[in-house]
Amino acid sequence: MFTHFKSYSIKIKDKLYPIDRPHVMGILNTTNDSFFDGGKYHTIDEALHRVDTMLKEGADMIDVGGQSSRPGAEMIGLEEEIQRTVPFIEAIHKRFPDNIISIDTFQSEVARKSVWAGASIINDISAGEDDDKMLKTVAELQVPYIAMHKQGKPVNMQLNPQYVDVSGEIYDYLKQKTELYQSMGISDVILDPGFGFGKTVEHNYKLMKDLSVFHRLNCPILVGVSRKSMICKLLRVDPKDALNGSTVLHTVALLQGAHILRVHDVKEAVEAVKICGQLSL
């Protein structure tokens, strides 16, 4: 078994779904301005083709997002985000009914309509802070909830992020959040430390070094570092040339017990999971 790895089960469509091995979550951005693949999948046919490819490469779940959260991104309106996500989720769910779909949104109405359309997980970069109706919505829908830490908002989060102890502060933040979620009846929580969201390069690598600490919170851990600036700035490459760096960090995360890798490149992430798994036999 993977070092530090602890098995969990989450409820997906009224059935217990085991996370007893590392999972790979494929990213499907239906935006025009995402930092790596913006504009590639803005039609349903293009999106379905991409999902088919990711599933064949071994993706365990697909994360659909209609609003870019890259540093400096401006927010779009509610109706536009719904149009960018809900029809895509409906089409994916119809074509691949056994696939697990996650909706990447901080807006409760987008989350609600996406779950009605076939999504099984809500992935919220704001951990419930950017929409005061989100946590009540999650509790009502009774779906797993991915809660991420960020400092600031995408439009300003990278201007001057400050921490005294980045890992300790994020740990305390997520601990308080899990206690809040439990009190509200949200039982299936997945935690994301939020690499790249209001953190410097140094903050991100300290957080990766300390990743195993977050297992004390007794929740599955999601890691999203794929092609991010923590790789690009260190290696002085563009996102298109950051696949190798992404795989290295995915390997580090796996060796520290990460449960879900959120990735642009499914095939390479699945290979990293297989190799790390073989090392632990």
- DSSP state string for 52-104: HHHHHHT-SEEEEE-S--STTPPPPPHHHHHHHHHHHHHHHHHHSTTSEEEEE
DSSP assignment letter at 10: E
User: Considering 206, 262, 267, 274, which one is annotated as catalytic?
Assistant: 262
Which are the contacts of 84, defined by CB distance < 8 A and separation ≥ 6? 30, 31, 42, 66, 67, 76
User: Considering 136, 228, 233, 240, which one is annotated as catalytic?
Assistant: 228
The position carrying tokens 């929409």 is 131
228 noted as active-site residue: yes
262 noted as active-site residue: yes
State how far the Cα of 268 lies from the Cα of 232, in Å rounded to an integer. 18
Angle in degrees, 0-180, between the axes of helices 166-183 and 201-209, rounded to the nearest 10 = 70
Catalytic site residues? 228, 262
